Amino acid sequence: MNNGNDFAPRSGGRGLLALFSFSILFIACSGTKMLDSAANDEYHPVITHTAVIKTNMGDIEVELYGKDAPKTVLNFVGLAEKDVYDGILFHRIVPGFVVQAGDPKTKDPSQRSTWGQGGTSIYDGKEFEDELNPEAPSYQRGYVEGAMAMANRGPNTNTSQFFICSGPNAKSLPHKYTIFGFVRKGLGIVHAMEKVRLDNSIPVEPIEILDVKTKELIKVTLDK
């Protein structure tokens, strides 16, 4: 599964700063309370959404950073609202490094040989650009345990695949993968995933996303 077409994070290389042609509007939603990051560190990314990723092993609650990575967060939320993630499997697990999901091809066992090579987006299904701003708090925090980032197969090739950093080995990742969230609750579920029996990084017993529920705290709008 680890060929050149995979949307898989790898070590080595340098990050790229993408240039964007849109402005971003943030509006606090009525009756909502601003949340502090569960990371409890010196970085304070603005949490615009939360999401609960329901799996057959348990729930993972994440905070999403629509100020740091607006296009990425809107894509994840939009796909969740369309139930695109329902039935998708975690197809790549590397203990101490990452757990990865988001490829619609994993819904079809007959496509197992190409798992990790698929993806879609709310932008007409097309790949979209990285959001790698060195000034963003989540970028500065880096690929710490619990960080949630986009998987890709090269610069500006984001779709629906994402990964959660599960251990210290992820810290060495180069800044090539847009960080757009962090695990608030359920990191124990992520670590439980690392303990399952694997076949070439694929869980022998499928780990399935049953549903993704999102909540908007601050409205994020892309104005092209």
Express each pLDDT in 107-146 by its tens digit.
Answer: 999 999 999 999 999 999 999 999 999 999 999 999 999 9
Could you tell me what percentage of the chain is helix, strand and coil, using 3-state DSSP and rounding each to the nearest 5?
Answer: 20, 30, 55
Determine, yes or no, domain membership for 126: yes
Contacts of 32 (CB under 8 A, 6+ apart): 216, 217, 218
pLDDT at 8: 67
- Domain-located, residue 7: no
User: How much is the average pLDDT of 56-79?
Assistant: 98
Is residue 179, in this structure, part of any structural domain at all? yes
> For residue 69, is it within any domain?
yes
* Percentage of residues in the chain having pLDDT higher than 90: 80
Total structural domains within the chain:
1
Give me the amino acid identity at 156: N
User: Are residues 121 and 79 in contact, defined by beta-carbon separation less than 8 angstroms?
Assistant: yes
pTM of this structure: 0.88
Helix (H) or strand (E) run with residue 50 in it: strand 49-55
Q: What is the CATH number of the domain that holds 32?
A: 2.40.100.10
**Cβ proximity of 162 and 147 under 8 Å:** no
What does the pLDDT read at residue 10?
Answer: 59
Asked if the structure places residue 143 within a domain, the reply is: yes
Does the pLDDT value for residue 21 go beyond 50? no
Whether 15 is covered by a domain: the verdict is no
Domain that holds residue 83: 23-223
Calpha distance 161→133 (Å, rounded):
20
pLDDT band at 156 (very low <50, low <70, confident <90, very high): very high
